[in-house]
A and B are shown apart, each in its own frame.
Chain A
Amino acid sequence: MKAASVKKGMRGALPIILGGVPIGMAHGLLTRQMGFAIELPLFLSLFVFAGSSQFIAVSMLQAGAAPLAVIGTTFVVNFRHLLMSASIAPRLKSWTFLQRFLMGCTLTDETFAVHSANFAAGGADTTEALSLNFTLYLMWTLSVVSGFQMGNLIERPEVWGLDFALPAMFLGLLLPICTRRPAVAAALCGGAVSLSLHRLGFGSWAAFTGALAGATAGAFVADGNPKKEAKPVE
């Protein structure tokens, strides 16, 4: 391991930490408000390490959802990582088994975005990439724990708008990927199905069903090339 690469990876993690720390703190804080002990957000951060799933799991658990519904929703919410993992796999051929395993465990939306950009640019330094991932992992866990500890200072997080951190994060992740018609169709259909199920009282399975329905609907929508379509038919 080269110290310079470790440092470079840590520096690369900085902009992502900036976005992640408020979300992690909000997660810790809200979990405490819901009456859970620190073990829950701590072990979720250490073992699951997936921001949106952690938020969702805690709110589902508080609402009294069945364990299977929580695990099923987590599976669907994180299923996108399968595609990300498959997409960077060919780039890691020279990595050892352990290195690939560690990369997989610390794969998130953010690390995927950074690494696929780096790999495309030619730089695939193993030490630097893993250093970036583990810096994020550590900072995420620290921010969740410190948010939990701050819970007794901030009595009503909703006054500070902190309960909006999760919806805002979904919005911030969703909008940039809705650039093409199938993605927009998937989002519209997934949202509509999920919302309908919620209003009918089937909230526990709404995200799961909405995701499957939305992706299926989107997959049948033609990925029209906007430039081609703008041309008049001759």
Chain B
Amino acid sequence: MLIISEFRKDITWIYQFYLPLKRRLIIIVLLSIVVALLSSVIPYTFIRIIDGIESSLSMRYIGVSILILLGLSLLNFIFSVRNTNYRALTNLELEWYFRQNIFARLIKLDQTFYDKFRLGDLVTRLTDDVGYKLSWFACSGVFRAWESLLKILFSLVAMCYINPYLSLIAIIPLPIQIVIFSKSRNILDKRFKHLQQVISRVNETIENCFSGIRIIQAYCMEHRQAEKFASVASERVDAEISAEKAHIFIHSLYHYFWQISQILVLLTGGWLVINGKLTIGEFVAFDYYIGYLVWPMFDISGLLVGYRRASVSIKRLRELDEFTSLIQSPEKSEKPEKVTGHLVFRDVTFRRE
């Protein structure tokens, strides 16, 4: 339940930034359908071509099939390049909106906020967190995965059309992949979060040292700062390695598990070919589909891993966004007609938190 509620909060937070880009995002969603459809039809043409060659059909028949392949690829090129450009522009604009929106809020917050958050940490959140980890995820991560999901779906439909039995065998690794990811989610979460915290600490150390460099040099304490930096840098190396180990393992496992499908297709598809239940063209198309689906599968795993990474960044940014300033401007204020400079402090008491 907690996970769902956190996910909902993350999505709600991102959604406000999607609103100004609504029209373009709809175009991306629609273009993704066209691209996925075209990409999934292309391997299907191999059946005609290979079976035509295998059965020594006329060159005209094979030529037409090859021209269909070329035409589909050209259409795919046109739509896909347009869609990728839209996504790239949206990534950049989202990064701009995220940073701008948070900065506009931070600049108005009172000193209690700056007592709580250090400068190095704030700069990290507004650059490292907002950058690739979040902005790329918010558009390319999500919409590429959408395109990939459609590609998988359409390809599965095409594969079922060729041979439903072989399709079932080919997707055996899919549930295992889902289990792998759901089991590894917490590990990734924890490690990415720790890494972001350590990066902030490194930036803070750099920022503090060079802001006070005159006094550090005056007291000959450069070596102490170097030791302090070496210590946080080592902490960072440990955190980076730990996060990368988990990331590489899960990513590789995900990637190679899907390739098991290729072996299953070779074994089962081969058996069907030997028994005359599948043509070589259909077998090649199946093999091509499986090989071709590696990248969409990668994108889906990228989305899942990317979401864990982005989720950590979203939480760090939401923390800034949700900070309530102790000093609030009244919702409605009366503007004095004339400023006289008459200033009164009445029974004012103050203590620092």
- Binding between chains A and B: no
- Measuring CB to CB, which residues of chain B are less than 8 angstroms from any residue of chain A? none
Q: Interface of A with B (CB < 8 Å)?
A: none
